[in-house]
Amino acid sequence: MGKPTGFLEIERKVAHYRPIKQRLKDYKDVSEYLSDEEIMEQASRCMDCGVPFCHCVGCPASNLIPEWNDLVSKGKWEEAFRRIEKTNPLPELTGRVCPATCESSCTLSINNAPVTIKQIELAVIEKAFKNGWVKPRLPKQALKKKVAVIGSGPSGLASAIVLREKGFDVTVFERSNKIGGILRFGIPDFKLEKWVLDRRVAMMKATGIKFKTNAKVGDKLSAKSLKKSFDAVILTGGAGEPRDLKIPGRELDGVYFAMEYLTQSNKYVCGDLKKSDIINAKNKNVLVIGGGDTGSDCVGTANRQGARKVSQFEIMPKPREWAESRNPVWPEWPIILRTSSSHEEGVSRDWSINTKEFVGEKGKLKKVHCVRVEWKASAPGQRPSPVEVKGSDFHLDAELVLLAMGFVHVEHSKLLKDLGVETDERGNIKTDGKYKTTAKNVYAAGDADIGASLVVRAICQGRNAATVVYEAFSKK
């Protein structure tokens, strides 16, 4: 505990974003950062609460948050890094893109403002890289067992790091031309600059992990060959099947899945595509359908591309507005209205709106036909469903619509079929609850197993799946 009265005397302080006019001109990180002294002061607000809900309820990875807060408050940065490294192999990612569910569970959130856990974590890992404390996690032994990790998103990277450290010969297969999965192609640079990934991948290569890009496993490398070449396989391909909106006009030029749009934009930013080859919002009226993080990323990208106007519709009701710093449903994650840096840059948001038809001319999108809905239960105790409000129909001018309504399940690929992997009632890969699939020596982790979720949960899943594989093969 850095300062017994710190939580009483020091107010929560978070870093600001760069000015809107400045950040809209580029795709660089939108954030500014606090000084070391300010971070140490914020860490001293951690109150030695006895039961650290941030650790045991809020964080899927069970990070040792109170311990690293205490160490940072005392200026023991390297020791703090060692605590973070024990549970999280990729803190530079969670420090940037995690929604910080730990902060919602912070005991201070009962009636005060929580500790700024996320920015403390990021400050620690960046200082660790700067000072050379982050070293390749070299194998502690040689198991002479080979593992294939299919997919290089957060779960795949975490699995590979832990597997290699435990002594496995690890190869990561990625179907795209660069490593990172959704981290590289789904999250814009203004939230996660890609040098962050490159730095970590270089560190992983130094441990002996092998990476194969443009690898369409299941086609050129068959499932039979995969199982013959490797002792175990971990499927970490994510929940790649997007939720579609199958209404009249869906085939019109101008209606795209959000991930298709974001992937092309990210490839343009890194120089893999020309501007003429991407879906471009410049001078267009843009409608983003879906109110989550992916929708927010589309808003920020469209504004940077020079959209005429950006709107964002969500079929669910508007969340509760909450201006206070405490958590109204502590220690749970509150369903409240959240405004991202992208929203601040310009967007018209609306809720309880159903999209009925895409209207076009000569094959190109021109308008969107919408209607307002009310959420009503058919009977007491039943789940509410949307009911159209009579006479509330309206049309919105739009030349570009981006479908950001989430993902339904893992892609049901030829690989899964050939491996003999079954799926569950939700369409995710079926496991025994401990990452083992229905196919021998084949495991699954991350969104492919549990469905679309958080980066921190995917990292945790990858870490845990690697441990299960180690326990299964270390005695063979």
- Cα gap 36→164, rounded to integer Å: 33
- Cα gap 25→16, rounded to integer Å: 18
pTM comes to 0.96
Report how far Cα 65 is from the mean position of its chain's Cα atoms.
Answer: 20
pLDDT band at 381 (very low <50, low <70, confident <90, very high): confident
In the prediction, which pLDDT does 220 show?
A: 85
Q: Is the dihedral of CA 248, 250, 254, 256 positive or negative?
A: positive
**Length of the chain in residues, anyone?**
476
| Superfamily covering domain 6-130 | Alpha-helical ferredoxin (1.10.1060.10)
**What six digits make up the tokens of 238?**
């994510």
In the prediction, which pLDDT does 2 show?
A: 66
Where in the chain are the domains?
6-130, 146-240+408-473, 245-405
Tens-digit pLDDT profile for residues 166-178: 999 999 999 999 9
Residue 173 is inside which H or E element, if any?
A: strand 169-173
Q: In CATH terms, are 146-240+408-473 and 245-405 the same topology? A: yes
Across the chain, mean pLDDT equals: 96
pLDDT band at 359 (very low <50, low <70, confident <90, very high): very high
Instruction: Supply φ then ψ for residue 390, to 5 degrees.
Output: -60, 130
Q: May I ask the CATH architecture of the domain 146-240+408-473?
A: 3-Layer(bba) Sandwich (3.50)
Instruction: Supply φ then ψ for residue 436, to 5 degrees.
Output: -85, 130
In the prediction, which pLDDT does 474 show?
A: 84
- Protein fold of 245-405: FAD/NAD(P)-binding domain (3.50.50)
Q: Can you tell me whether residue 224 is helix, strand or coil?
A: helix
